[in-house]
Structure 1
Amino acid sequence: MASLATHFSAFVLLFPVGLRRLLCSSSLYLKNPSLYRSKIWYFSEPKWKNFDLYTLTIALPIASFSEIFIFLAFSGHPTYRFAFFQQSAAIFMFWALVILIICRENIDTLHIDEGFVFVIAAISFLVEYSVIGKGISGLGGAMYDILGALTLVCAVCSLYLSIRPCSFCAEFFLSSGLVLKGTWILQLGLSLYTDAFGLKGCKKMSVWPNQENAEWKCDLEEDGLRGVSLMTLLFIGHAIAVLLLSLMLFALVASNWNLRCGEASGPLLAQLDSGHVLMPSSLDLDME
């Protein structure tokens, strides 16, 4: 996370995935709440519509190898070498998770349980949590601690879903957490790594002479305190905006069934529909 470009790339990957997951899980839950079960991925038909999943299979290894190249470029800074290596490993974990999801969907002989995949997802989030903010000190590190807390929430939700896949509340927090992670990463990139969107009296994140860690420097202590207060206020604003967006999307799906994603008409719901069709005929037989 050393530039605006990496933050924007993370936003482009996280925000659509979280939003689509929220839409599909809401569709599935509203179809029949009593039989709702969360899914590790909500597939669409035809399969080419799952371009978000296939995009991740290409983008994540590229991002992982990019971290390795940056790691080699900072060979003179031991702290940076270790941080970039850890970030590359975290991205590779998510890529392995995506490959596992694709294999589970397309190779029937594997018989991979969804609970196991949720556990792997939780482990991936925990690995990401362990590397967030590495090599960043001072006020900027405090802002990345918030991002780490969001990642920890996603890990806990994934672990809980591995035990109770019928919990829509955990699914809602996981999906909303991904959306909030995306918007907050973009906010950090704009506020900490640019002068145009930077905070008054503070300079963009950089490695200062004779230092191994990146640090967010402010001219005066008052500027730093004001910057932290403003960033905290911005996070609260992001959280409220994402919560309202999630609730509005849920209400929109509830009122307009045309917004249902492909998974809302999958095998589980097909069984439900067939069950509803068979009930009247069985009643007729009993009456006869």
Structure 2
Amino acid sequence: MASLSTNLTAFLIIAPIGIRRMVCSISLYLKNPSQYKSRIWYFSESKWRNFDFFTLLVLLPFASFSQLFFFLAFSGHPTFKFSFLNQSLVIFLFWVLLILINFRGSLGKFDTNEGFLYVFAGIGFLVEYMMNGRGVIGVGGMVYGILGGLGVLCGGCCLYLGFFPKAFFAEFMLSAGLILKATWVLQVGLSLYTDAFGFKGCDKVMILAGQGVTDVKCALEEDKLRGMALMNLVFIGHTIVVIVFSFVVFGVLHCNKRMRYGETSGPLLGEIGSERVQMMPTISEFEIE
């Protein structure tokens, strides 16, 4: 169960996270590629610059509880009633992930392994894939299927980073996958829940009476097939735009150090410095020898 407003909200949340993650990870990689290590979240030195993180930490429980309320109050078909419960569970999993990240970042003694957090995030994306678009068939089912595939991509990258945190290509794919997921969420809202961007010869998503499923009702089978082909073409366009955008960001950050995240200060630079100190022998050790 979704609408243009919920899809737009998801886009406004996921897109900035993906872009910020891409900028931060590329900046960290360009500082010293040989010492690169992925971070579960890229914190800033100033708390105000972590506004996105703390905003999600506050808003996600409200979103989860609202979906749970709809589950308890909705008296329609069980398929759609339990879709609210599924969405509440997915939101709750990512909220728990943020809590674990917050504890790890704020309490030095609470040394949560980032590999575990990446695995937890990967499981969250895979749960989202299993819950995504349940009860939606036809053109809508195909569109949500692509969205679920992007969830699998993000989940797979998280699981890989959980075991190989120095794999920059997995971090790059995760960031690009989040951005693509955000743009496709918005495309889903525009294509399935509006008349202006809907398919020719088809209506908006509606519940089929007595079947407990949702579908885009098309006058002709030809209109349905044309809608599927169009959405496949649109997805290819989204993918090309995101890939080009990703390489442009990499090129700009490579050429302009001033635009890199944490170039002169901040925890990222401190973490790199501490790793170098651990790997380099001290002067006293040479003197003893």
269, 272, 276: which one aligns with 2:272 = 269
The residue that corresponds to 1:233 in the other structure is 233
Q: Distance in 1 between matches of 2:267 and 2:183?
A: 27
CA contact (8 A) 1:195 1:204 kept: yes
Give the Å deviation of 1:273.
8.1
Q: Distance in 1 between matches of 2:252 and 2:276?
A: 22
Q: Distance in 1 between matches of 2:128 and 2:137?
A: 18
Query: Can you list the C-alpha shifts for 1:239-273, whole angstroms capped at 9, x where unaligned?
Result: 00000000000101001111111368432333478
Q: Distance in 2 between matches of 1:114 and 1:5?
A: 34
Matches within 5 A, 1:205-284: 205-262=205-262, 265-271=268-274
Distance verdict in 2 for CA 1:97–1:272, change over 3 Å: closer
Q: Distance in 2 between matches of 1:15 and 1:265?
A: 22
CA contact (8 A) 1:191 1:199 kept: yes
Paired residue secondary structure (1:136)? coil
The residue that corresponds to 2:45 in the other structure is 45
Q: Distance in 2 between matches of 1:37 and 1:158?
A: 13
The residue that corresponds to 1:155 in the other structure is 155
Q: Distance in 1 between matches of 2:267 and 2:180?
A: 24
The residue that corresponds to 1:116 in the other structure is 116
* Unaligned stretches of 5+ residues in structure 1: none
Q: Distance in 1 between matches of 2:103 and 2:143?
A: 37
Paired residue secondary structure (1:203)? strand
Task: Please tell me the residue identity of whatever aligns with 1:66.
Answer: S
So what's the TM-score if we normalise by structure 2? Answer: 0.92
Q: Distance in 2 between matches of 1:244 and 1:66?
A: 37
Matches within 5 A, 1:41-120: 41-120=41-120
Q: Distance in 1 between matches of 2:110 and 2:29?
A: 27
Paired residue secondary structure (2:204)? coil
Task: Please tell me the residue identity of whatever aligns with 1:191.
Answer: S
The residue that corresponds to 1:179 in the other structure is 179
CA contact (8 A) 2:45 2:267 kept: no
Q: Distance in 2 between matches of 1:244 and 1:72?
A: 44
Q: Distance in 2 between matches of 1:210 and 1:195?
A: 25
Q: Distance in 1 between matches of 2:114 and 2:47?
A: 20
Greater mean deviation of Cα atoms: 132-141 or 143-152: 132-141
Paired residue secondary structure (2:137)? strand
Task: Please tell me the residue identity of whatever aligns with 2:190.
Answer: L
The residue that corresponds to 1:198 in the other structure is 198
Q: Distance in 2 between matches of 1:40 and 1:261?
A: 16
CA contact (8 A) 1:205 1:215 kept: yes
CA RMSD between the two structures: 2.1
Task: Please tell me the residue identity of whatever aligns with 1:52.
Answer: D
Count how many residue pairs are aligned between Structure 1 and Structure 2. 281
Q: Distance in 2 between matches of 1:274 and 1:27?
A: 20
